[in-house]
Structure 1
Amino acid sequence: MTVKKRPSDLTSLERFNLYYREKEPPLTGGQKVKRFIWNPKTRQFCGRTGASWSKIMLFYFTFYAALAILVAICMWTFLQLLDAREPKWQLESSIIGTNPGLGFRPMPPEVASSVIWYKGNDPGSYQFWISELSSFLQKYKRDANKSGAGQNIHNCDFKLPPPAGKVCDVDVSLCSPCVEDNGFAYQKSTPCIFLKLNKIYGWKPEFYNSSDNLPSAMPDDLKEHIKNMTAYNKNYLNMVWVSCQGENPADRENIGPIQYLPHRGFPGYYFPYTNQEGYLSPLVAVHLQRPKTGMLINIECRAWANNIKYDRVEGMGSVHIEIMVE
């Protein structure tokens, strides 16, 4: 048997529920939403009073502030362990490894493409390639009006390596006719392509120490060039040599004669790269002097040194270029 409580025996909450259940009509869906957002009788916003919201906001503010401080401390500690100029992991212990890649400029607008195509009689079609090369070579130009410009640049030679704190100059004016004033010879249908080795901190090339001990796979014209140069100056052996040729017999027939400027390779005095201030990668300008027009020519350019591994499939030690001049 249920005993009915007297009003004086009810708790405040029971009296509240009894009163409003008896007095309030059922709420519609919209009214329930409005009541949830703001309840004027209980002064609750989204089911919480002002004091409740203040407490929860204080909790989350404290939590995320502590989390941010912890992350900042971890980042600061991590940065203290890093050298701003010298990477902790180098050469064999690094992800980059010890085999520098060979790159070329100008690059096509499509990232996955390696095709340089233009019409020799249409300035609009080759202006893009000229602009790309001009932009790329901009950093190789010294601004004489800029304070301190070129102060750590040294005019190096095989007998004059850079002293401590200096870097070797890369004089692109020696690459004529592959210069900006000449439009890099694109308007003459004899385009220039620039090659560069990707920088690897601390990497030193292992040169071929004798012109009589060259790889059998090396092109005959390069072997002959090395023998002629080293007969004049043995120091020229200290070079990362470069060769470019058509990939297939038809390409080798269509590519025509090639000129390499200012050297047929990257002089050894530019290495190693140790993040020196003002350091610029050496360049080789490849001038295609008479490529056959109207033909797509596949070209493979390769870097030669004892410690540069070559794999055409993987693109190691070489770069694939396609060019078509109409």
Structure 2
Amino acid sequence: MASTEDKPAANKENTSSWKDSIYNPRTGEVLGRTASSWALILLFYLVFYCFLAGMFALTMWVMLLTLDDYVPRYRDRVPTPGLVIRPNSLDISFNKSDPPKYAQYVQHLETFLQRYNDSEQERNEECLAGEYFLQDDSDDMMKKACRFKRASLSLCSGLSDTNFGYHEGKPCVLLKLNRIIGLKPPGEPYINCTVKKDHPIQMHYFPSGGRIDKMYFPYYGKKAHATYAQPLVAVKLLLTKEDYNKELSVECRVEGSNLRNNDERDKFLGRVNFRVKVVE
């Protein structure tokens, strides 16, 4: 049996051993390593991580050499464009007698159509309708764009009716296809909208028939086609009193071409669904 005199000595040894594991004054070690050992291991990791950083930078540099500022290297991900609605809402609800309720939609449409003003579109070309506007590759990669003036949207242009029909309960919506470089849709593409209800709702399309002219294709990319403005189709919903205070489900599709519009995995591929509710 150990005497009580041995206990203080044992405690002292344990304390000394614990301190020595952090710093040993006899050998000069810190955390079990001498200063030269720490210097070597830090030098190793410095060289190692500098090598990794250099390899990463070299890989990125080589990859960037293969890219083209004007044309993406791979263009096979989205063969069919999506259909987009403006104003930017899939749930359009307002009181036609209360201007502040529909002011956000009117303002959004007006802002969106600014780039279609004559002052902007005069910079573009007057193209031949019904034909693709093909442009040969040249040293100058900048491409010309065809004019699309907002006046072609007639009653939905915001020029003759600055409220886009919202004040009379006959709202306008604008539709456009997403941009895809090199897309040349065959046939005569046009937009067709239907309302899911017992009796049909009359609609007016601008341009006539909701047509999307071929002269706005192909698209050559954001940098090459800097002044390009996507063609629009305006749909004016001619709602009547019996349509008010009801939530109407509207579906618009791209028809007349081979562009896909019935893919159940993507509800926005070649089509768009939105709701409209007008309150008296």
Give the TM-score taking structure 1 as reference length.
0.66
- Distance in 2 of aligned mates of 1:262 and 1:23: 95
> How far apart are 1:59 and its partner, in Å?
1.6
Pairing partner for 1:177 from 155, 162, 169: 155
Match in the other structure for 1:106: 87
Q: Is the aligned partner of 1:87 residue 2:72? A: yes
Q: Is the aligned partner of 1:125 residue 2:101? A: yes
**Equivalences for residues 315-326 of structure 1 within 5 A:** 315=267, 316-326=269-279
Pairing partner for 2:204 from 259, 263, 286: 259
> How far apart are 1:287 and its partner, in Å?
1.5
Q: 1:310 to 1:174 in 2, by over 3 A?
A: closer
Pairing partner for 2:43 from 58, 67, 75: 58
Q: 1:156 to 1:53 in 2, by over 3 A?
A: same
Match in the other structure for 1:268: 214
- Contact 1:206–1:307, Cα closer than 8 Å, also in 2: yes
Please say which of residues 277-286 and 181-190 is displaced more in the overlay: 181-190
Pairing partner for 1:194 from 169, 174, 177: 174
What count of residue pairs does the alignment treat as equivalent?
A: 254
Secondary structure, aligned partner of 2:276 = strand
Pairing partner for 2:78 from 79, 90, 96: 96
Query: What amino acid sits opposite 2:252 in the alignment?
Result: C
Q: Is the aligned partner of 1:26 residue 2:14? A: yes
- Distance in 2 of aligned mates of 1:87 and 1:297: 41
- Distance in 2 of aligned mates of 1:294 and 1:136: 28
Query: What amino acid sits opposite 1:158 in the alignment?
Result: A
- Contact 1:154–1:162, Cα closer than 8 Å, also in 2: no
Q: 1:296 to 1:51 in 2, by over 3 A?
A: same
Which deviations, in whole Å up to 9, do the C-alpha atoms of 1:106-125 show, x marking residues without a partner? 223xxxxx321222233333
- Contact 1:82–1:88, Cα closer than 8 Å, also in 2: yes
> How far apart are 1:75 and its partner, in Å?
1.6
Q: Is the aligned partner of 1:168 residue 2:146? A: yes
Secondary structure, aligned partner of 1:76 = helix
> How far apart are 1:272 and its partner, in Å?
1.1
| Structure with higher RCO (Cα < 8 A, 6+ apart) | 2
Q: 1:260 to 1:40 in 2, by over 3 A?
A: farther
Secondary structure, aligned partner of 1:242 = strand
Q: Supply the RMSD in Å over aligned alpha carbons.
A: 3.3
Please say which of residues 130-139 and 189-198 is displaced more in the overlay: 130-139
Query: What amino acid sits opposite 2:275 in the alignment?
Result: E
- Contact 1:152–1:166, Cα closer than 8 Å, also in 2: no
- Distance in 1 of aligned mates of 2:122 and 2:51: 47
- Distance in 1 of aligned mates of 2:102 and 2:177: 25
Q: 1:40 to 1:177 in 2, by over 3 A?
A: farther
- Distance in 2 of aligned mates of 1:52 and 1:151: 73
- Distance in 2 of aligned mates of 1:63 and 1:77: 21
Higher-Rg member (1/2): 1
Please say which of residues 265-274 and 160-169 is displaced more in the overlay: 160-169
Secondary structure, aligned partner of 2:36 = helix
**Structure 1 residues not aligned, in runs of 5+:** 1-20, 109-113, 208-238
**Equivalences for residues 279-318 of structure 1 within 5 A:** 279-291=228-240, 292-311=243-262, 313-314=264-265, 315=267, 316-318=269-271
> How far apart are 1:82 and its partner, in Å?
2.2
Pairing partner for 2:226 from 256, 270, 277: 277
Q: 1:287 to 1:139 in 2, by over 3 A?
A: same
Pairing partner for 1:115 from 91, 97, 107: 91
Match in the other structure for 2:5: none
Q: 1:241 to 1:159 in 2, by over 3 A?
A: closer
Give the TM-score taking structure 2 as reference length.
0.75
Query: What amino acid sits opposite 2:166 in the alignment?
Result: Y
> How far apart are 1:87 and its partner, in Å?
2.5
